[in-house]
Chains A and B, each alone.
Chain A
Amino acid sequence: MAEAMSSRRPASDVLVVGAGPAGLAAAYRAAESRLRVVVVDDNPDAGGQIWRGEQREPRSREAQEWFHRIRRAEIELIAGARVYQQIEPGTLLAETSHGDVLELGFENLILATGARERFLPFPGWTLPNVMGAGGLQALVKNGLPVDGKKIVVAGSGPLLLAVASYLRAHGAEVLLIAEQAAALRLARFGIGLARHGGKTSQVFALRRELKGVQYLTDCWVVAAHGDEKLERVTLRRAGKRWEVSCDYLACGFHLVPNLELAELLGCEVAGGAVSVDEFQQTTVPQVYSAGESTGIGGLELSLVEGEIAGLAAAGKLEDARRLFPQRAKQRRFADLLNRTFALRDELKTLAAPETIVCRCEDVVFDRLRAHSSWRTAKLQTRCGMGPCQGRICGSAVEFLFDWKAESVRPPILPVRVESLSHKKAQESQTRTNLRSEI
C-alpha cells in the first residue's frame, strides 16, 4: 500500500488545536514570549464557528482586533488539517485537505477544540433543510443565499437569537423563534444579566434587530414534515399544536463541548467538559484546554481562558493569574446561562418509536430503548458506529437514556486509508488496540 505524503515539522513550543477565539487568544499570548507557536484547525479559515467568515465579511470589531493581533504576531497557522491521532506523547498526526499527513511535534499543547450543537431527534429531523441553528448560520456565512427564505429558528440557547438576527440581516424571513426554556427561567436570566453590563447591551441590540419576530418561550418543534425535503413543521406550546410552512428549520439545543481529542490524550473529562486547573492545564502535564471544550461559556470566557492557557504554557504564571478575576466573572455568567437553558424533560418524549436517532446507521429509537448502555446498543445496533463516530447521536442518547460516552479510539475522525497506513500511525494503533484488549 502506498504511504501518504508525510511531512514532519519542527516541534513547536506551543501547538494549539483550534483557531477559534480561545485558540487564537492562546496562540497570541504564547507568541508574545517569542515561542514557536503553531495553530492547526480543520476549517479552511481561522475564526472557529463564532468568527466564521469574519475575514471575508467583517461584522465584529472584537474579531477584527484579534485577527489584526494574530497577523502581526509570529504564529504559523495550518488550516484545513484535521488532527486524528497521537503517535506518541508530544506528537500528533493531522490529515490535510489534500490527503497529506503532518506530524506535529510539541512541547506544550493547548486544546481549543470548541463545541458543537446538541441535536435531539424528533419525527422528521432527518429531512433535508432541517439543520442546526448554528449549522444554517455556518452555511450562510459560507455563501448560501437566504433572501426571501421562510425560516423557523428553534431549540434552545442564546445562539438562537444571534442566528435569527444574522439570518434576518441576510434577507431571510424569520417566522418565529421557538425557545424550549420556560419564561420564568428567562426572566431570572434577564435579572442575572443586569450584573453583566456588557451582556445586557448585547441582548438589547439583538432585541432591536429582531423587532417584529415572535420569540416564543416554552415552545418547541414536535415534528418536521415533507416528502424529499422539509415543507412544514409542527410546533407545540402550552398544550397547543400548530403547523407552519417554511423553507428551512434551524434547530439546535444549546451546545456541547468537543472532547474527542482530550479523551484520546487521556485528559480527565468530568460533567461533559475537559477538567482543568487554575492555569487551564488538564490532568495530562503540559496539555492545556481553553474555551468551550472546558464547558460552554460563550465568547468572552473563551477569550480569557485562551489568554490564561497561552500565558501559562509560556511560563508566565503571574501574568496569567492577573486574568483570574475576569475569568471568574465570565464563569458566573456561564453558570447562569447553562441553568437557564437546561433542557426540559418533555423533550425526551419527542422521538417516536420509528424516529431515527443515529443518522449514520439509521438506528431508530425503538431499537435503542431495549438497551441499558451505549456500549451494548453500539454492539447490537451500530448506533454511533458510523462516520460521525457518535458526535451527533452521542449527546442525544446521553439526554434521552442517560448513557455516558464510550472511550475514544484513534483515529478520532474517518481518514484516508493512506493516513491510517502511515507507518507511525499503524504502530500506535497496534499499541492502543493491544492495550484496550488487555
Chain B
Amino acid sequence: MPDTVSLSVNGVAVTVSAGSMVSTAVLKTGVSSFRRSVTGEPRGPLCGMGICFECRVTIDGEAHCRSCQTVCRNGMDVRTDG
C-alpha cells in the first residue's frame, strides 16, 4: 500500500499519510471552519469520534459526511461549507 494519499479540499490539492481521516486533511489545508451552524456560526471538529456531527463536509457530492470517520481516498473531492 502506498504511504500517502492525494485528495482535494475546496479545490486545493493535499497529500496525507495513508489511513488519515478527511478531518485531518481539511485542517491540513488551513481550513478550520468545516460548516456553518443553523445561525451561521463557523464550526469545526469537536469530539473527533463521530458523535458531535460538527465536522460534517461534502465528499464527492454527498453532503453531511462525518469527516472524522471517513478515511481519505485518492482523488476524493472534499467541500467544506464554512
Contacts and interface: CB of A to CB of B under 8 A. Distances in A.
Interface string A131-146: 1101111110011110
A80 B56 CA distance: 16
A179 interface: no
Nearest to A141: B48
Nearest to A142: B21
B48 A228 contact: no
A91 B48 CA distance: 29
Given A128-B32, A362-B41, A143 B46 contact: no
A43 B21 CA distance: 11
Contacts of B42: 127-128, 228-229
A143 B41 contact: no
A135 B28 contact: no
B8 interface: no
Contact of A143 (B17, B45, B47, B54): B17
Contacts of A228: 32-33, 42
B78 interface: no
Interface size class of A (residues with CB under 8 A): 35 or more
A137 B64 CA distance: 23
Contact of A126 (B41, B51, B71): B41
Main secondary structure, interface of B, reads: loop
Nearest to A136: B48
A128 B24 contact: no
A100 interface: no
Nearest to B55: A139
A135 B45 contact: yes
Contact of A362 (B38, B44, B48): B38
A220 interface: no
A72 B16 CA distance: 31
B27 A42 contact: no
9 contacts: A42-B69, A43-B49, A135-B48, A139-B27, A142-B24, A143-B25, A359-B46, A359-B54, A388-B53
Interface of B: 16-17, 19-21, 23-25, 27-28, 32-34, 37-39, 41-54, 56, 64, 68-71, 82
Given A44-B71, A128-B33, 11 more contacts: A43-B69, A49-B49, A128-B34, A128-B42, A128-B44, A134-B49, A143-B17, A143-B20, A228-B33, A229-B44, A356-B37
